[in-house]
């Protein structure tokens, strides 16, 4: 891809019919991404369907196959790991840059893992594939990026409160169906989640590893270290699914090398790209998932000194994981190549 | 009160019509507390109403006044702080032991603060008043009590996921009304909570102090130190209201003086009074609020080594805050005096 000469780009979306794929179409339109052709790829189940792609008009879904990628400049991946692995070589062979939201290649040393507000330069070291990080990881890192620049974070503790849409488009449907059944006395059906999520909490996202942490919990450590170029950073995380439709929230403790001034922290957060300081204790104002859904900024509040370690900062952040935590971050990576 | 001679006790409940007061009536019955007279006291609004007190039959609510307590052996307090302060001297003058669930006297050095599974002996040092701790504090401390006996906890981190019934009987009504409005398109009304809680999170419980922590967040430190007799224990807490009807959940990191063996920790938790180990990662089994409501045990799971500090143990616990977090704990304190 020769970014200098092109004015408009042929963009493919692999997994275009899922929650993240649909949001990618929306975000490309909203951000006026210079699209020449928009090619929507999905499984054979969806092939042939005509979808409304907003400013890009009606687009017919094509079945993804090894020869689906010819002529594309950029492929945004919104498919599961197995699909991503199946097509990565065809995408690379086509010459397109593959910006993949799956976790298949995130920890591959040849694949940059990029949050454009934090490590945009890494994107240009790609060999055909750039990985989009985990949703909670993106939101947490955007929130603490300013603090980390004041003094390096040595230890990061996080307890997450993750929305049901993080499990895909069927997550909210299941939650609302269950809520209706609770209110009206019907049968509770589960499918997306292993247990009832309406009016409940499920302290498991992903499978369990040998160390007792879930795959989702390990991402904040493994991806956070790579994105921040801080391989020694200590990270300990608990991930919990909560009955919220959209926007993940995270209770964070960031312990820095030096003791920070709280006013400096607030200033750093308010000036950090992609962040908004929402922290007015006198008026009971703080980030909440309802207020942060369907937009791209990470809201940060409840900033205070940790009571256990004077070098620690406690905060609470919320961000829309389908947008900034997935679709928008991928489109922002693509924008790095539009000059 | 001469506990050796009495077989049955005259028990009063101050604030009998609230969520905790009603639960106290239920728990006294369930646990076969030896009640001679059950006297239910509330505000003038409720006076004269006849309530079904289960095995105690129909009881007429009386208006609480300074002469309401004569002849009582035990008064269980389920009223707000101002009501508790208003009547404490009358209760003491009556000779009854006042077991108070409000936070009015919890940090008073003359008032024992008791979790019967942890510090029952403190109860006998009372001067007329014994305080029942904060709900999240009780649940968290019952969960970590066994670990603390293996090696003293030096630092305790907690992020809470607190049910709406913690705000009283009207909390669940408001949540379900809002959920109905979301599902059916009606108007969202708030009253108990400052913002919509259905399908949302509110990271504030109680008012903000100068240090940026809420009153609820400071209770785990201040009450935890007193109950455990560990004035140096470092505690840092974030309290969040979640759209769950009943049972608080807490994501805990307990950093102990010594590095512990994880099998020893699981054994200590399973043997700790009031605890149940619910931790089978192979079968995706862990505590959830739906499973822990309307019973008295604190469920503990997700036990694993902290990744930031090898002396740290991470865990997840759930308990019914109206019962073990309030009513049952108060009745258990009363039971200490029944021999």
Instruction: Return the pLDDT at B6.
Output: 52
pLDDT at position A46 over 90: yes
Report residue A238 as tokens: 């608990």
**Chain B residue with Cα closest to A204:** B284
Q: What is the mean pLDDT of residues B245-252?
A: 97
Burial of residue A88 (CB within 10 Å: 0-12, 13-18, 19+) is buried
Residues 6+ apart with CB under 8 A from A189: A174, A177, A178, A181
Separation CA B173–CA B259 (nearest Å): 45
pLDDT at position B1 over 60: no
Give A275's strand partners. A298
pLDDT digit string, tens, across residues A21-33? 999 999 999 999 9
pLDDT at position A244 over 60: yes
Distance from CA of B138 to the nearest CA of A (A): 20
The ipTM assigned to this model is: 0.95
User: B231 vs B339, which has greater pLDDT?
Assistant: B231
Separation CA B88–CA B107 (nearest Å): 15
Q: What is the mean pLDDT of residues B78-105?
A: 98
Distance from CA of B52 to the nearest CA of A (A): 26
The closest alpha carbon to B59, from B72, B47, B77, B67, belongs to B47
pLDDT at position B5 over 70: no
Separation CA A307–CA B156 (nearest Å): 10
Distance from CA of A230 to the nearest CA of B (A): 14
The closest alpha carbon to B126, from B339, B336, B304, belongs to B336
Phi, psi of B53 (to 5 degrees): -100, 35
Separation CA B105–CA B109 (nearest Å): 9
Q: Indicate yes or no: CB of B234 within 8 angstroms of CB of A307.
A: yes
Which of A201, A237, A284, A321 to mutate to test binding with chain B, by most B CBs within 10 Å of its CB?
A201
Beta-strand runs (E) in A57-193: 58-60, 62-63, 74-77, 97-100, 129-131, 153-161
Instruction: Return the pLDDT at B7.
Output: 83
Separation CA A319–CA A302 (nearest Å): 15
Give B299's strand partners. B276, B318
pLDDT digit string, tens, across residues A170-203? 999 999 999 999 999 999 999 999 999 999 999 9
Phi, psi of A317 (to 5 degrees): -130, 150
Separation CA A222–CA A334 (nearest Å): 23
Instruction: Return the pLDDT at B262.
Output: 98
Q: What is the mean pLDDT of residues A94-114?
A: 98
**Chain A residue with Cα closest to B243:** A199
pLDDT at position A4 over 70: no
Instruction: Verify whether residue A248 is a known catalytic residue.
Output: yes
The closest alpha carbon to B84, from B27, B129, B124, belongs to B129
pLDDT at position A339 over 90: no
Phi, psi of A312 (to 5 degrees): -100, 145
Q: Tell me which DSSP letter residue B8 carries.
A: S
Which chain A residues contact residue B282 at CB under 8 A?
Answer: 208
Q: What number of other Cβ atoms are within 10 A of residue B34's Cβ?
A: 14
**Identity of the residue in B199, B213, B316 whose CB atom sits nearest the CB atom of A238:** B316
Give B39's strand partners. B12
Alpha carbons within 13 A on the beta-carbon side of A51? 19
Question: Are the beta carbons of A16 and A26 closer than 8 angstroms?
Answer: no
Instruction: Return the pLDDT at B325.
Output: 93
Q: Indicate yes or no: CB of B196 within 8 angstroms of CB of A290.
A: yes
pLDDT digit string, tens, across residues B154-193? 999 999 999 999 999 999 999 999 999 999 999 999 999 9
Separation CA B192–CA B13 (nearest Å): 24
Whole-angstrom CA distances from B187 to A244, B122, B184 are 18, 50, 9
Q: Indicate yes or no: CB of B290 within 8 angstroms of CB of A199.
A: yes
Separation CA B89–CA B106 (nearest Å): 16
pLDDT digit string, tens, across residues A270-289? 999 999 999 999 999 999 99
Q: Indicate yes or no: CB of B287 within 8 angstroms of CB of A203.
A: yes
Residues 6+ apart with CB under 8 A from A38: A11, A12, A13, A25, A28, A53, A56, A59
Question: Are the beta carbons of B163 and B326 closer than 8 angstroms?
Answer: no
Number of CB pairs, chain A paired with chain B, less than 8 A apart:
168
Q: What number of other Cβ atoms are within 10 A of residue B15's Cβ?
A: 27
- Among the listed residues A126, A239, A248, A318, the single catalytic one is A248
- If phi > 0 it is left, if psi is from -120 to 50 it is alpha, else beta; for residue B185 that is left
pLDDT at position A1 over 90: no
Instruction: Return the pLDDT at A7.
Output: 83
Torsion over CA of B57, B63, B64 and B65, rounded to 10 degrees?
-140
pLDDT digit string, tens, across residues B252-278? 999 999 999 999 999 999 999 999 999
Which chain B residues contact residue A303 at CB under 8 A?
Answer: 212
Which string of b and e fits A203-238 if b means at least 16 CB within 10 Å?
A: bbbeebeeebbbebbbbbbbbbbbbbebeebbbbbb
pLDDT digit string, tens, across residues B288-310? 999 999 999 999 999 999 999 99
pLDDT digit string, tens, across residues A139-179? 999 999 999 999 999 999 999 999 999 999 999 999 999 99
The closest alpha carbon to B139, from B118, B109, B170, B167, belongs to B118
Which residue is associated with the tokens 């005509």?
A: A50
Question: Are the beta carbons of B292 and B321 closer than 8 angstroms?
Answer: no
Predicted TM-score (pTM) of this structure? 0.96
pLDDT at position B150 over 90: yes
Beta-strand runs (E) in chain B: 9-14, 35-42, 50-52, 58-60, 62-63, 74-77, 97-100, 129-131, 153-161, 234-238, 248-256, 275-277, 298-305, 312-319
Question: Are the beta carbons of B247 and B292 closer than 8 angstroms?
Answer: yes
Q: Is B69 helix (H, G, I), strand (E, B) or coil?
A: coil
Which string of b and e fits A293-316 if b means at least 16 CB within 10 Å?
A: beebbbbbbbbbbbbbbebbbbbb
């Amino acid at each position: 891809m020769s970014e200098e000469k092109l004015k408009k780009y042929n963009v493919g979306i692999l997994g275009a019919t899922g929650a993240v794929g649909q949001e990618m179409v929306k975000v490309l339109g909203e951000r006026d991404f210079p699209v020449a052709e928009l090619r929507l790829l999905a499984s054979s189940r969806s092939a042939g369907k005509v979808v409304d792609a907003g400013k890009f008009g009606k687009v017919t879904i094509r079945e993804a196959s090894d020869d689906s990628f010819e002529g594309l400049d950029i492929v945004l991946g919104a498919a599961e790991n197995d699909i991503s692995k199946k097509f990565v070589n065809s995408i690379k062979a086509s010459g397109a840059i593959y910006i993949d939201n799956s976790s298949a290649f995130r920890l591959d040393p040849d694949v940059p893992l990029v949050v454009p507000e934090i490590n945009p330069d890494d994107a240009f070291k790609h060999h055909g594939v750039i990985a989009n990080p985990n949703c909670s990881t993106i939101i947490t890192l955007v929130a603490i990026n300013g603090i980390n620049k004041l003094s390096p974070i040595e230890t990061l503790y996080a307890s997450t409160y993750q929305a049901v849409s993080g499990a895909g488009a069927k997550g909210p449907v299941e939650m609302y169906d269950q809520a209706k059944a609770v209110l009206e006395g019907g049968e509770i059906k589960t499918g997306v989640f292993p247990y009832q999520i309406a009016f409940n909490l499920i302290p498991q996202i992903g499978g369990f590893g040998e160390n007792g942490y879930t795959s989702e919990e390990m991402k904040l450590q493994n991806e956070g270290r790579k994105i921040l170029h801080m391989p020694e950073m200590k990270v300990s995380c608990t991930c919990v699914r909560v009955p919220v439709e959209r926007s993940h929230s995270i209770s964070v403790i960031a312990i820095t090398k030096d003791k920070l001034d709280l006013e400096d922290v607030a200033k750093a957060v308010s000036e950090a790209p992609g962040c908004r300081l929402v922290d007015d204790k006198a008026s009971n104002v703080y980030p909440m998932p309802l207020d942060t859904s369907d937009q791209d900024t990470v809201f940060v509040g409840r900033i205070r000194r940790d009571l256990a370690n004077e070098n620690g900062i406690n905060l609470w952040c919320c961000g829309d994981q389908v947008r900034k935590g997935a679709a928008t971050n991928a489109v922002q990576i693509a924008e790095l190549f539009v000059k």
